[in-house]
């Protein structure tokens, strides 16, 4: 077994997101499994499938919207899958914690070092090399946590025109170390048809897609989020959050971000404005939100719609405190990044 670059990158992202690497391996490919805390399920970063070992886990996976095709069934046969072969459970040896020394590194590194020594003594050099790669990933992630700040970013998409901004933002954030989470209203699907955007295909751009439900994690103040970006933000969502009258998941998640004093950017796309809209914006500003109307500038020799969109997305990223350069700035003679 070897770790390809894509698997290494996904493992790094899972570790930086705070998911726990288990002392178990995938019964199909042998890659270490991760425990996805939000779902309470094991996940294989190489197969990109969930490892299910009981009927209870199977029911939990179905309730979370995970299809049977995205599961690796181990040790039992669900009623729905009668006639299909299950994967036999592979027994994995537990690594010893004896001799682990506290050097400031995560405990997994000490355990895996012991495992490397054991594999080398047994002459299993290929397996030892793979474990050494995993140690390298852990050390790299630990170092990044010390010297960089990886944020959890919640993107809220409402049923307003301007999904091209959201689409560009998600594509920009995809290759960063930040954890990106998305929630969108049902009206987004209708707007997306008119703007030529396939919303379902954009799920692969983010780490988590939250269900449109008031029981979704972002609707709770105890759920950890660093930055919330509502883009585009409809009049209804903006006014609901501004006055605390929240009856839907999107406005609730936005309101929670305000009441928890988190960095919040509201991209309002509506014109002309009424007095009531101005009052709502005033309330949001008093709550500490950054209200940024979707109005790109054209002074940097912008010639295409894509350039105008990237210019504005750069401004939103700046206001959100996310340090990424996606477009040239005033005084920068370089071309678009």
Does 329 fall in a domain? Answer: no
Task: Tell me, yes or no, whether 136 and 179 share the same domain.
Answer: no
Give every strand in the sheet of 179-184, ordered side by side: 208-209, 179-184, 152-157, 227-233, 263-268, 290-291
Residue that is last in its domain, among 147, 170, 197: 147
How many domains is the chain partitioned into structurally? 2
Task: Tell me, yes or no, whether 194 and 308 share the same domain.
Answer: yes
Query: For residue 35, what is the enclosing H or E element?
Result: strand 32-36
Average pLDDT of the residues of the chain: 82
Confidence of residue 183 (pLDDT cuts 50, 70, 90): very high
Task: Tell me, yes or no, whether 172 and 314 share the same domain.
Answer: yes
Q: Is the pLDDT of residue 4 over 50?
A: yes
**Mind listing the pLDDT tens digit for each residue in 40-66?**
899 998 889 999 988 888 888 888 888
- Mean pLDDT, range 19-40, rounded to an integer: 84
Task: Tell me, yes or no, whether 140 and 221 share the same domain.
Answer: no
Q: Bigger pLDDT: 286 or 79?
A: 286
Residue that is last in its domain, among 127, 147, 167: 147
Predicted pLDDT at 149: 60
Does 84 fall in a domain? Answer: yes
User: Which residues form the domain of 31?
Assistant: 5-147
Task: Tell me, yes or no, whether 137 and 158 share the same domain.
Answer: no
Q: Is the pLDDT of residue 147 over 60?
A: no
CA–CA distance, 191 with 127 (Å, rounded to integer):
51
Predicted pLDDT at 107: 59
Does 326 fall in a domain? Answer: no
Q: Is the pLDDT of residue 69 over 70?
A: yes
Predicted pLDDT at 94: 37
Beta bridge partners of 87: 74
- Mean pLDDT, range 69-73, rounded to an integer: 89
Residue that is last in its domain, among 95, 118, 147: 147
Q: Bigger pLDDT: 146 or 319?
A: 319
CB-facing half-sphere around the CA of 23: CA atoms within 13 A = 14
Task: Tell me, yes or no, whether 137 and 253 share the same domain.
Answer: no
Structural contact between residues 114 and 99, judged by C-beta atoms closer than 8 angstroms: yes
Q: Which of 20-24, 159-163, 173-177 has the lowest mean pLDDT?
A: 20-24
| Cα angle: 227, vertex 287, 38; to 5 degrees | 35
CATH number at 208 reads: 3.40.50.1950
CA–CA distance, 287 with 257 (Å, rounded to integer):
10
**Mind listing the pLDDT tens digit for each residue in 83-128?**
444 444 444 333 333 333 334 455 566 677 777 777 777 877 777 7
Q: Which H, E and C letters describe 116-164, residue by residue? A: HHHHHHCCCHHHHHHHHHHHHHHHHHHHHHHHCCCCEEEEEECCCCCHH
Percent of the chain scored above 70 by pLDDT? 84
């Amino acid at each position: 077994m070897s770790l390809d670059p894509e698997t290494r990158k996904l493992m790094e992202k899972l570790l930086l997101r705070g998911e726990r690497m288990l002392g178990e391996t995938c019964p199909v490919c042998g890659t270490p499994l991760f425990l996805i805390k939000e779902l309470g399920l094991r996940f294989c970063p190489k197969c990109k499938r969930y490892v299910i070992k009981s009927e209870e886990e199977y029911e939990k996976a179905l309730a979370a919207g995970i299809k049977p095709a995205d599961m690796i069934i181990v040790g039992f046969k669900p009623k729905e899958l009668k006639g299909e072969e299950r994967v036999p459970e592979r027994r994995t040896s537990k690594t010893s914690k004896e001799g682990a020394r506290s050097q400031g590194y995560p405990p997994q590194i000490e355990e895996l070092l012991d495992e490397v020594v054991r594999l080398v003594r047994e002459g299993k050099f290929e397996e030892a090399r793979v474990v050494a790669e995993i140690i390298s990933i852990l050390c790299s992630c630990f170092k990044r946590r010390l010297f960089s700040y990886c944020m959890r970013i919640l993107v809220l998409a409402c049923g307003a025109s301007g999904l091209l901004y959201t689409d560009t933002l998600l594509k920009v954030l995809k290759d960063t170390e930040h954890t990106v989470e998305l929630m969108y209203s049902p009206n987004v699907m209708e707007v997306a048809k008119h703007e030529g955007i396939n919303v379902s295909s954009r799920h692969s751009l983010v780490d988590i897609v939250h269900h449109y439900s008031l029981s979704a994690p972002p609707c709770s103040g105890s759920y950890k989020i660093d930055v919330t970006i509502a883009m585009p933000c409809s009049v209804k969502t903006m006014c609901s959050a501004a006055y605390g009258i929240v009856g839907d998941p999107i406005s609730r998640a936005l309101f929670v971000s305000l009441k928890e004093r988190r960095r919040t950017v509201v991209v309002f796309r509506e014109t002309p404005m009424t007095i009531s809209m101005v009052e709502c914006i005033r309330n949001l500003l008093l709550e500490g939100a950054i209200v940024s109307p979707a109005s790109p500038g054209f002074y940097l020799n912008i010639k295409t719609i894509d350039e105008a969109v990237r210019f504005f997305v750069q401004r939103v990223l700046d206001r959100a405190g996310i340090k990424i350069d996606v477009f040239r700035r005033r005084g920068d003679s370089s071309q678009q990044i």
